[in-house]
Amino acid sequence: MSTITLSAGGAAVKPRKANKKKAQPFPYILLLPTLIILVVMVGYPVVSLIITSFQHYGREQVFGAPATFAGLENYQTVLTDPSFWMMLLRSFLFMIAAVVATMLLGTLLALLMMRLNKGFRLLVTVGLLLAWAMPALASVAVWGWLFDTSYGIINYLLTQITGSDWTGHSWLANPISFFLVLGLVIVWQGAPFVAFTLYAGLTQIPGEVLEASQMDGATPVRRFFLIMMPYVRSIFTVLIVLSIIWDIRVFAQVVALQSIGGIAEQTSTFGVWVFMKGTAGGNYGVSAAAALIMVVVMLVISFYYVRQTLREDNN
């Protein structure tokens, strides 16, 4: 919008037009390769998954037979299967327990790293990196050896401590103890990431703020919840959402433990159940429908994080 102003002598000055920023295409050109990769690597599999979930797609279709339209039959098969709802409940209960344990242990480790001197902090960092960098199957092999029925060190220690004979006790045959071992594996690998991320956030808190609260007599617990938490709340949100997504779709660790001695029907989680429906059951349409339901569950879980991120960006 242009305006007319008067000079000191009363003469009219030529109106000036408001400067408008022109959209520069160069940033979008730089983003184009990344967008193409995302469409190819993410978009195509999702579209293929959606199409397969509405088809009768079995082993015959894998070898070239045409797939027929199934409508909502695959979704009806999944949602009316009692084993699906038992698996879903089992997966959510395990996810909640694993996320709480991972966040609690990771937070304690981050606070511990804040208090340690440089030498001990380096030792803790190296130990956490080793646990975090170890492949999933290798970590399952280590924990499987610890809980081995015949030669496991856990059974040996329990025998020595309690005086009872734990030799031959199978931790993986019972679903509850199976998920206890699985939880140890997941928390052991997930806590280092939480600890490193929180430690990086906690180091950004101004030191004078913490010193002032300590001089005012704030206890460590109050200092954490009233001073530190507001600074790292967004980090906590990201970590919780990521942990939920990782733990609800855990796959390799479950399959590996089941191969050692777990009962698949009573210990399968979301990812394993979807995989077995396709490979063992030979019904890839039902497997695709269950996987798409899993995607929707992930989106619902991530909705809070996305909404909070957009709200912070708008502010």
Predicted local confidence at residue 208, as pLDDT? 84
Beta carbons within 8 Å of 12's beta carbon, 6+ residues apart: 4, 5, 6
Q: What is the rounded CA–CA span in Å between residue 114 and residue 107?
A: 11
Place of tokens 């300590």: 214
Helix 175-202 to helix 136-146 angle (10° resolution) is: 130
Predicted local confidence at residue 16, as pLDDT? 53
Tens of pLDDT along 44-73?
888 988 999 999 888 888 787 888 899 899
Predicted local confidence at residue 78, as pLDDT? 92
The residue among 303 and 285 whose pLDDT is bigger is 285
- For the ranges 19-23, 235-239, 277-281, the lowest mean pLDDT is seen at 19-23
Quick check: helix, strand or coil at residue 7?
coil
Closest CA to 203 of 116, 315, 127, 126: 116
Predicted local confidence at residue 310, as pLDDT? 64
pLDDT-based confidence at residue 15 (cuts at 50, 70, 90): low
Predicted local confidence at residue 199, as pLDDT? 94
Domain ranges of the chain: 90-270
Tens of pLDDT along 304-313?
776 766 676 5
pLDDT exceeds cutoff 90 at 11: no
pLDDT-based confidence at residue 110 (cuts at 50, 70, 90): very high
Tens of pLDDT along 268-297?
999 899 888 887 778 899 999 999 998 888
What is the pTM for the complete model shown? Answer: 0.82
CATH superfamily of this structure's domain 90-270: MetI-like (1.10.3720.10)
From residue 172, alpha-carbon distances to 101, 130, 164, 241, 260 in Å are 20, 25, 19, 29, 8
Mean pLDDT, all residues of the chain: 85
Predicted local confidence at residue 188, as pLDDT? 93
Closest CA to 268 of 91, 25, 92: 91
Amino acid at residue number 152: G
